[in-house]
Structure 1
């Protein structure tokens, strides 16, 4: 969650803007490139600072007339997928979203993720299991009953960083409540899709999911 956007050509953003959809790429608190104090805004507050910054950024562009508040959606992968789910469970500014291999249960992630990142969550949230209460509170799965908009999920079947059960727990919780959900599981893909055909299929599915359930418009390109 401490990466940042850049001004170089981004083909994913190009996919959306070339189809008439505006993109706001948020460097929320914790993003690199803005100094130590900005980076450390996220310390202990993952799931709070990132969500608040994304929500406030969206509210700003909507209030300025730069975006349609009835068709605002949020998308992200990995830590960004977690921010997507957390934002959708804690407000109504976004009318839909897409989670790419995102985290739904941070306590389960602390137990199940690979060894290299197993203690990273201590910095982002707090020591585990000593602060398991915080982990439950920060987990989108805990607040799934508050999510009431369409969501589409994308997951690699061989992902060892964010295992497929992270996506499937949230999918099951939402489908059990009748929330419109899409779920694409890609065999042979790990954490971050690598195959061109996977990336294309995922982007097309995300676009058509939004068009049908959020934008409510026919696509003609």
Structure 2
């Protein structure tokens, strides 16, 4: 059943292993997040049975529906998060990858505190300054961390970026390198409210380059599940 899925996963794991060794790390240091947007539950459950533990969703409604069918999996919100949708995922996600504004941080904090929780979040950084993408400028990250440090309902656990989609993945290596540099700088500062644990970089097109440049979370969809249905 779904032999193509097993083949895809085996190839990705081999690639992750090679990139990890190339960057001087162990394969187990890299976490694969299977991006399951528009993917049917039977396929997601098959991936789960093949050892995938973490799934990433872009939309809140789709995440909540899938969470209800597979609550034992670890669910990540990787897409842009609107303030009015936070309340639906507070008790469902292990990590929000896309914190990109102070008002959103306040809303996450409010909803998490009301549930007696502290939510792990990543700050989304628009390293390439693409006008069509969300995220802070690199120069804003330090001040943002300082601004959210007293919000008890969220814990900054690292940084995330989406690199420009280009034909040659090598072209985005500098983007990943820049974010890793910021990640390392923040790590050496040992800020109690901003533990630099996760660096979420790399998707189907460029995940090997991202790992070579220091990513420890990669978000892969098409290479696992095939082209998305429109």
Pair in the same fold by TM > 0.5? no
> Scaled by the length of structure 2, what TM-score is found?
0.37
Which structure has the highest strand share of the two?
2
Q: Does 1 or 2 have the higher relative contact order (CA < 8 Å, sep 6+)?
A: 2
> Scaled by the length of structure 1, what TM-score is found?
0.38
